[in-house]
């Protein structure tokens, strides 16, 4: 019989929160980079909210807070991606 340590279970749960938040953060950056305006308008806020909710849950359960700054980088990378895609759209269309 294998005993699970309570601390390991918390870390595994936080890993799930981190992965969901990170992937939705990257997807949010890709949606911000989409040149179709309605994708930014309708898909952006719910995806950001999902990412933010799991980010907060992960911060509450995790002891390794340092890695959560990368999710903020994923969120903020949506701005230059959006600007570059808009410039590319204006130049090539």
Among 80, 92, 90, 93, which residue's Cα sits nearest to residue 33? 80
Residue 27 in domain: no
Whether 5 is covered by a domain: the verdict is yes
Q: What is the pLDDT of residue 1?
A: 45
Q: Considering its fold, how many domains does the chain have in total? A: 1
| Confidence at residue 83, expressed as pLDDT on a 0 to 100 scale | 74
Among the listed residues 76, 81, 72, the one whose alpha carbon sits nearest the alpha carbon of residue 33? 81
The residue segments making up the domain with residue 82 are: 1-12+38-93
Residue 25 lies in a domain: no
pLDDT in tens, 25-50: 888 777 776 656 666 667 778 888 88
- Flag whether 23 is in a domain: no
Indicate whether 3 pLDDT > 70. no
33 lies in some domain: no
Query: Is the pTM above the cut of 0.85?
Result: no
pLDDT in tens, 49-77: 888 888 888 877 766 666 677 777 777 77
**Cβ pair 85, 33 in contact under 8 A:** yes
88 within domain boundaries: yes
């Amino acid at each position: 019989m294998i005993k699970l340590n309570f601390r390991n279970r918390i870390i595994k749960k936080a890993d799930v929160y981190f992965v969901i938040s990170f992937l939705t953060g990257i997807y949010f950056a890709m949606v911000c980079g989409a040149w179709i305006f309605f994708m930014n308008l309708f898909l952006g806020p719910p995806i950001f909210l999902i990412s933010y909710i799991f980010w907060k849950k992960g911060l509450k359960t995790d002891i390794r807070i340092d890695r959560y700054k990368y999710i903020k980088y994923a969120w903020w990378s949506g701005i230059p991606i959006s600007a570059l895609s808009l410039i590319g759209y204006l130049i090539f269309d």
